[in-house]
A and B are shown apart, each in its own frame.
Chain A
Amino acid sequence: MSSPHLKTNRPTEPTEASPMPATVTEPETRAPDRMSMHRSRLPHWAPWLVAVVAAALSALLSLTLGWSVAGWAVLAVVVYAVALPGWSRVVENSRTALDRLVTTLVWSAFAVALVPLVSLVTKVLVEGAPALSAEFLTFSMRNVVGEGGGIYHAIIGTLLITLAATLISVPVGLMSAIYLTEYGNNGRTARTITFLVDVMTGIPSIVAGLFAYALFVLFFGEGVRLGFGGAVALSLLMMPIVVRSCEEMLKLVPADLREASYALGVPKWRTITKVVLPTSLAGIITGVTLAVARVIGETAPLLIIAGSTDSVNMNLFAERMMTLPVFIYYSYTQPGVPAEFGQERAWGAALVLIVIVMALNLLARAVGHYFAPKSGH
Chain B
Amino acid sequence: MAKSIDVSDLDIYYGDFKAVQNVNMTIQSRSVTALIGPSGCGKSTFLRSLNRMHEVIPGARVEGKIVIDGQDLYGPDVDPVDVRRQIGMVFQRPNPFPTMSIYDNVLAGSRLNAKRLSKAKGDEIVEKSLRGANLWTEVKDRLGKPGQGLSGGQQQRLCIARAIAVEPQVLLMDEPCSALDPISTAAVEDLIHELKTDYTIVIVTHNMQQAARVSQETGFFNLAAAGEPGELVEMNPTAKIFGNPDEKATEAYISGRFG
Residues of A within 8 A of B (CB): 185-186, 254, 256-267, 270-271, 274-275, 278-279, 281, 373-377
Contact = CB atoms under 8 A, between A and B. Distances in A.
B190 to A, nearest CB: 23
Nearest to B109: A264
B112 A279 contact: no
A270 B113 contact: yes
B120 interface: no
A314 B228 CA distance: 70
B159 interface: yes
Given A264-B112, A275-B112, A257 B162 contact: no
Contacts of B51: 263
6 contacts: A260-B159, A263-B89, A264-B112, A267-B81, A374-B148, A374-B149
B150 A376 contact: yes
- Give chain A's interface secondary structure class: helix
Contacts of A375: 146, 148-149
Contact of A265 (B85, B98, B146, B148): B85
Interface of B: 51, 53, 56, 58, 81-86, 88-89, 91, 93, 95-99, 108-109, 111-114, 145-150, 159, 162-163, 166
Contacts of A262: 53, 56, 84
A261 B53 contact: no
A265 B112 CA distance: 9
Given A256-B93, A275-B112, A373-B146, A264 B88 contact: yes
A372 to B, nearest CB: 9
Contacts of A374: 98, 146, 148-149
Contacts of A267: 81, 113
B155 to A, nearest CB: 10
Contacts of B145: 376-377
A259 B99 contact: no
B149 A377 contact: yes
Nearest to A371: B99
Max chain B Cβ within 10 angstroms of own Cβ: one of A258, A267, A376:
A376
Contacts, number: 93
A7 B176 CA distance: 44
B97 A257 contact: yes
Contacts of A260: 91, 95-97, 159, 162
Contacts of B166: 264-265
Given A259-B53, A262-B53, A264-B163, A279 B150 contact: no
A191 to B, nearest CB: 14
Nearest to A373: B98
Contacts of A254: 95
Given A262-B56, A275-B97, A376-B146, 6 more contacts: A185-B58, A256-B93, A257-B97, A264-B166, A265-B82, A279-B98
A376 B149 contact: yes
A261 B104 CA distance: 13
A264 B53 contact: no
Instruction: Give 6 closest A-B pairs by Cβ, nearest first.
Output: A376-B149, A265-B85, A373-B98, A263-B89, A376-B146, A256-B95
A266 B113 contact: yes
A259 B95 contact: yes
Max chain B Cβ within 10 angstroms of own Cβ: one of A258, A264, A279:
A264
A264 B96 CA distance: 12
Nearest to B149: A376
A281 B145 CA distance: 19
Contacts of B83: 265
B165 to A, nearest CB: 9
Contacts of A274: 111-112
A256 to B, nearest CB: 4
Nearest to B113: A266
A261 B88 contact: no
B98 to A, nearest CB: 4
A377 B147 CA distance: 10
Max chain B Cβ within 10 angstroms of own Cβ: one of A257, A260, A373, A374:
A260
Nearest to B150: A376
A257 B108 CA distance: 12
Contacts of B148: 373-376
Contacts of B81: 265-267
A94 to B, nearest CB: 45
A263 B58 CA distance: 17
